[in-house]
Amino acid sequence: MANLIKSAKGMNDLLPEDMVYWHTLETTVRHLFTRYGFNEIRTPIVEATELFSRAVGEVTDIVEKEMYTFNDRDNEKASLSLRPEGTAGCVRAGLEHGLLYNQQQRFWYSGPMFRHERQQKGRYRQFTQMGAEAFGMVGPDIDADIIAMTARLWQELGLSDNRLELNSLGTPQSRQAYRALLVDYFSAYTDQLDEDSKRRLHTNPLRILDTKNPAMKALVAGAPSLHEHLDTESAEHFAQLQALLTAMGIEFVINPRLVRGLDYYSRTVFEWITPDADLGSQSTICAGGRYDGLVEQLGGAPTAGFGFAMGVERLVHILKNRALVPAAKPMDIYFMVDPTQVVAGMAFAEQLRSALPTLTMIMNGGGGSLKAQLKRADKSGATFGLTFDNPQQLTLKSLRERSEPVVLTPEAALTQLSSHLTQKA
């Protein structure tokens, strides 16, 4: 067993026992997004690197140090990257297929994202996001509609204790003035800034507010507050959004330090935060906002946008912790065959599957005596063992309860199983 190859750092296997949580989450999300009028879009995992440097921003953590970037084999100059997030690809696809200009469009997506981050609980190098994007609407009605959709998702999943934090970043123009105030403030305390923040002071000072370094918290708390420096229109937009959410019965807290890690946001930004303590500083499970400049930045006509992404691994972790998903349904049948009857037995098993499309049945594999097969049946977790004795006779036995096995003709076996399935449904 020497020399076993392990999965790459930060890239995880999802084992069969986890799937019930993933499927519950994915199914709930898919239904909900469809109910709100969003249509699924699937874009490639690999895109031109320039898409992300233009969309996410040159001086963000993602583009500076987290992307998996490589040259294509047949073109040394074609730089490609594994996608670190889903919005850029949605916009690129929307523009490429003419889905955005002068129209309203609602997309949702799901899939793996890649960031070369330090591995921690809830922070991986390959992780899954499900998200939604709406184009062509300046809000704040669509902002409220989409935030309400996320609130309903927590309700449906039994996670209503998530906390909603909101902020408005204003327009890029009004942010310039605020940026100058921020540089003045932090410049007076350079001795208290960590390495990242020193670097950001002149490239992207707003990002200092987003620091996860506890030693910086007090300094950040004293910084000038962004939403006191909003332009009038953004302030009005933000006030209307709050009024809408209140009318919809959605609680929120305003967090003036909320800036989000990506560059493309304008006006509304929001995060949902779980109270679960063991995710530590990885407690944000859903984040998004408005990005009215992004489509234009990627070469399209000016088009408003609003969207969010949720971290599926983090959500699965919470569902699992709280045992919020019912156990997977047991298999109906473990099918055994008398060793002298394998050909007829397997043919009958296929007839059974054709006649009963909802039946779940494991075929005994690897032969063995009936005694050996029964041992496997007992271990399998199935509800019944069904033995094919010969073409005239089968034996049905409960694997859960102590009851006498029942001998049946093939026709009677079919009727019996059919009524079991009706009861199950």
Residues that bind ligand ATP (CB under 6 A): 85, 115, 117, 122-124, 127, 129, 260-262, 282, 284-287, 309-311, 313-314
With the C-alpha atoms ordered 375, 381, 384, 387, is the resulting torsion angle positive or negative?
A: negative
C-beta of residue 305 within 8 angstroms of C-beta of residue 296: no
* C-alpha to C-alpha distance for 165 and 123, rounded to whole angstroms: 21
In whole angstroms, the minimum distance from the beta carbon of 308 to ligand ATP comes to 8
Q: How far is the CB of 93 from ligand ATP (least distance, A)?
A: 19
- 153's contact among Mg ion, ligand ATP, none, with CB below 5 to 8 A by partner kind, is none
String of contacts with Mg ion for each residue 351-390, x by CB under 5 A: ----------------------------------------
The one segment of 88-96, 140-148, 231-239, 257-265 that binds Mg ion by CB under 5 A: 257-265
Residue 197 vs 383, nearer CB to Mg ion: 197
CB of 300 to ligand ATP, least distance (A): 22
Classify 71 as helix, strand or coil.
strand
Piece in contact with Mg ion (CB under 5 A), picked from 138-146, 174-182, 256-264, 317-325: 256-264
Name which of 105 and 162 has its Cβ closer to ligand ATP: 162
Q: Specify whether the CB–CB gap between 116 and 65 falls below 8 A.
A: yes
Count CA atoms within 13 Å of residue 99 on its CB side: 15
Binding-site partner at residue 124 among ligand ATP, Mg ion, none, CB < 5 to 8 Å by type: ligand ATP
Q: What is the distance of C-alpha 299 from the center of its chain? A: 28
| Residue in 360, 306, 299, 303 with CA at minimum distance from that of residue 333 | 360
313 binds, among ligand ATP, Mg ion, none (CB under 5 to 8 A by kind): ligand ATP
Task: With beta carbons less than 8 A apart as the criterion, state whether 146 and 137 touch.
Answer: no
- Closest CB to ligand ATP among residues 223, 269: 269
Show contacts with Mg ion in window 258-317 (CB under 5 A): 261
What does the alpha-carbon distance between residue 316 and residue 18 come to, in Å, rounded to a whole number?
Answer: 8
Residue 227 binding target from Mg ion, ligand ATP, none, CB below 5 to 8 Å by type? none
Tell me, letter by letter, the H, E, C secondary structure of 273-312: ECCCHHHCCCCEEEEEEECCCHHHHCCCCCCCEEEEEEEH
Please list the helix, strand and coil fractions of the chain in percent, rounded to the nearest 5, in that order: 45, 20, 35
Select the residue whose beta carbon is closest to Mg ion and give its number. Answer: 261
**Which residue lies nearer to Mg ion by CB, 105 or 282?**
282
Let me know how many helices (H) and strands (E) the chain has, helices first: 14, 16
Contact 393, 343 (CB under 8 A): no
Nearer to Mg ion, 117 or 338 (CB): 117
Task: Decide whether 59 or 362 has the Cβ nearer to Mg ion.
Answer: 59
β-bridge mates for residue 308, sequence order: 132, 288
Least separation, in Å, of the C-beta of 261 and Mg ion?
5
Taking the least distance from each CB to ligand ATP, the nearer of 123 and 175 is 123
| Nearest to ligand ATP of 321, 418 (CB atom) | 321
**Which one of Mg ion, ligand ATP, none is in contact with 284 (Cβ closer than 5 to 8 A by kind)?**
ligand ATP
Count of residues touching Mg ion (by CB under 5 A): 1
Residue 305 site contact among Mg ion, ligand ATP, none (CB < 5 to 8 Å, cut-off depends on kind): none
CB of 106 vs ligand ATP, minimal distance in Å: 19
Give the strand order in the sheet containing 46-48: 46-48, 75-82, 69-72
Of the two residues 124 and 348, which places its CB atom closer to ligand ATP in the complex?
124
Distance CA 420, CA 98 (A): 52
The C-alpha atoms of residue 86 and residue 129 are separated, in whole angstroms, by 8
Taking the complex as a whole, how short is the minimal distance between the CB of residue 288 and Mg ion, in angstroms?
14
Both tokens of 214, joined, read 């506890």
Nearest residue to ligand ATP on Cβ basis: 311
**Footprint on this chain of Mg ion (rule: CB under 5 A):** 261
